[in-house]
């Protein structure tokens, strides 16, 4: 009995020592920005609660300023808030802030592979190859615009087939947006009735949802030692299983497309898509296996995921805002009718003639702040920043939502107001703090494509349909259904009435 008590006491002593060790690890960074004192193991859980991580960071920013430190578990993270601090970091010291930080929910899957998560020379190579390949395939060019216009016509046809019935637009919007990416990656689009394609689109949405839930935020907060100690519980959790299934669906789909391309690859034929381009590159460098193939597969998964969920979520939220503010819809349709009529399809050249429509789309992106915490960065070298010493490898969260809602650049930022992007003469005016795609060397490489998709799909739909809600405007909530890594728009139904 005494021996048993002695063993228990020893274990308790070791546990206390472990807690103290982990709790004081962060103190070796004596010159980090200020922040709330952390608890052993739990970090700043007292101030940052899963499910409300971003609001908690904003509250701490109000107390500690635009640059401060929090502890997610035992791991110190530097937080940047507001336009000035984020620009100073991501632009003025772009190289130092060009590393990719950890995204806890995806860490085991990607493990620093693929264009979104790679670092160092590996990332630079992937970024250069991917950017050049997509440009050669039409991204940012007239042929790329024509592909989007064609897909917009397919979407209009699908919406006409609904015959004005009530529906949740999420799936159709995601399929249309995803098809633009699929044409670039795989050289072909997929029918909206294709079950495999539907599964892929739903899986992409599911990944974004699980990353943004309270569970996803809890994983982010305990990516350090406690996160790994709780690995068994994590792998048994239902959210983890769902996320794994969704990731597997995307990876299986991409792998199948790559295999089909490999079987019919013609080394002498012109490159038709991103997969062909990479396979040809691999054959030239004789890298048919190994890490190069892994990076290629996961880069394609990254692009398919990002090219499916971001624009479709923004477009869905734009429709919700039109239902909430029907007078805005009327004004946009009047502008479209006056400038384009009913027959001529919108093109990018029309954007300058549609200032209110352009202002509305900018305000949608600003108001939603799709990725409010940004995507984590990591320092590639030790630097001095605003008088603080930041060590190499430390993670940095640039709060993009705080930029898009910075009152120094957007008057009454909590209000939805498209006119903030118009001058006194009704012309579109830019705002330097409009940064939904981030800044610096890790800026979203699909920014141009996303902006084109958003404009062309939105204007084509509004040229052909009026949007009607079964609920009165005052009953519609604009609050995200889930707010975490992303702000997920709420579910709603509407009718697409031929205009």
- How far is CA 191 from each of CA 64, 132, 151, 305, 449, rounded to the nearest angstrom? 52, 28, 11, 18, 21
pLDDT at 7: 43
The C-alpha atoms of residue 249 and residue 271 are separated, in whole angstroms, by 27
> What does 45-106 look like in DSSP terms, one character per residue?
TTT--TT-HHHHHHHHHHHH-SEEEEEETTEEEEEEESHHHHHHHHTTTTTTT-EE---HHH
The C-alpha atoms of residue 115 and residue 134 are separated, in whole angstroms, by 13
Sign for the CA dihedral angle at 415, 397, 438, 65 comes to positive
CB atoms within 10 A of CB 232: 8
pTM for the predicted model, two decimal places: 0.91
- Structure-token pair, residue 427: 């012309």
The C-alpha atoms of residue 187 and residue 499 are separated, in whole angstroms, by 33
- How far is CA 479 from each of CA 374, 402, 467, 475, rounded to the nearest angstrom? 19, 17, 20, 12
Query: What's phi and psi for 89, nearest 5 deg?
Result: -80, -55
The C-alpha atoms of residue 8 and residue 16 are separated, in whole angstroms, by 12
Sign for the CA dihedral angle at 268, 273, 274, 275 comes to negative
Per-residue pLDDT of the chain (499 residues; tens, 9 = 90+): 444 444 444 444 444 445 444 444 444 445 899 999 999 988 999 999 988 999 999 999 999 999 999 999 889 999 999 999 999 999 999 999 999 999 989 988 898 999 999 999 999 999 999 999 999 999 989 999 999 999 999 999 999 999 999 999 999 999 999 999 999 999 999 999 999 999 999 999 999 999 999 989 988 888 654 445 445 545 557 888 899 999 999 999 999 999 999 999 888 889 999 999 999 888 777 544 445 788 899 999 999 999 999 999 999 999 999 999 999 999 999 999 999 988 899 999 999 999 999 999 999 999 999 999 999 999 999 999 999 999 999 999 999 999 999 999 999 999 999 999 999 999 999 999 999 999 999 999 999 999 999 999 999 999 999 999 999 999 999 999 999 999 999 999 999 999 7
pLDDT at 221: 84
Query: What's phi and psi for 52, nearest 5 deg?
Result: -140, 40
Size of the chain in residues: 499
Question: What is the chain's Cα-based Rg?
Answer: 24
pLDDT at 236: 53
pLDDT at 30: 55
pLDDT at 342: 83
Which residue ranges form the domains of the chain, and what is each CATH number?
A: 33-498 (1.10.630.10)
The C-alpha atoms of residue 57 and residue 71 are separated, in whole angstroms, by 11
């Amino acid at each position: 009995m005494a021996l048993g008590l002695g063993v228990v006491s020893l274990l308790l002593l070791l546990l206390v020592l472990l807690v103290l060790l982990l709790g004081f690890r962060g103190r070796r960074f004596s010159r980090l920005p200020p922040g709330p004192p952390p608890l052993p193991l739990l970090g700043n859980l007292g101030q940052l609660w899963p499910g409300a991580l971003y609001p908690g960071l904003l509250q701490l920013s109000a107390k500690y300023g635009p640059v401060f430190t929090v502890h997610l578990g035992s791991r110190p993270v530097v937080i940047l808030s507001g336009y000035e601090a984020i620009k100073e970091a991501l632009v003025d010291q772009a190289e130092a802030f060009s590393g990719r930080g950890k995204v806890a929910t995806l860490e085991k899957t990607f493990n620093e592979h693929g264009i979104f998560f790679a670092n160092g020379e590996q990332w630079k190579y992937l970024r250069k190859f991917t950017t050049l390949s997509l440009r050669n395939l039409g991204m940012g060019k007239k042929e790329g615009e024509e592909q989007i216009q064609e897909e917009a016509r397919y979407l209009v046809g699908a919406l006409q087939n609904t015959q004005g019935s009530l529906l949740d637009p999420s799936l159709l919007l995601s399929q249309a947006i995803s098809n633009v990416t699929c044409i670039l990656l795989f050289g072909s689009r997929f029918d909206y009735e294709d079950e495999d394609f539907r599964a892929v689109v739903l899986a992409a949405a599911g990944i974004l949802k699980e990353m943004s839930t309270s569970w996803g935020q809890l994983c982010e907060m305990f990516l350090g030692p406690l996160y790994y100690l709780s690995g068994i519980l994590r792998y048994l959790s239902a959210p983890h299983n769902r996320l794994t299934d969704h990731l597997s669906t995307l990876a299986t789909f991409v792998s199948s497309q790559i295999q089909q391309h490999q079987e019919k690859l013609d080394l002498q034929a012109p490159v038709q898509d991103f997969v062909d381009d990479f396979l040809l590159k691999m054959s030239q460098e004789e890298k048919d296996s190994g890490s190069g193939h892994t990076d290629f597969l996961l880069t394609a998964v990254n692009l398919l995921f990002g090219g499916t969920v971001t624009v479709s979520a923004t477009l869905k939220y734009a429709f919700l805002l039109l239902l909430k503010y029907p007078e805005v819809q009327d004004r946009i349709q009047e502008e479209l009718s006056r400038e384009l009529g009913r027959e001529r399809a919108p093109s990018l050249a029309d954007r300058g003639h549609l200032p209110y429509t352009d202002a509305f789309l900018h305000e949608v992106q600003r108001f939603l702040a799709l990725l409010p915490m940004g995507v984590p960065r990591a320092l590639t070298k030790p630097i001095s920043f605003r008088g603080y010493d930041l060590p190499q490898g430390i993670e940095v969260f640039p709060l993009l939502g705080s930029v898009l809602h910075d009152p120094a650049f957007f008057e009454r930022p909590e209000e939805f107001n498209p006119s903030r992007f118009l001058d006194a003469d009704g012309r579109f005016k830019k705002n330097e703090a409009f940064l939904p795609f981030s800044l610096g060397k890790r800026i979203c490489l699909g920014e141009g494509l996303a902006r084109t998709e958003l404009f062309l799909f939105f204007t084509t739909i509004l040229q052909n349909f009026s949007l009607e809600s079964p609920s009165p405007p005052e009953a519609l909530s604009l609050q995200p259904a889930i707010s975490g890594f992303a702000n997920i728009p709420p579910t709603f139904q509407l009718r697409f009435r031929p205009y």
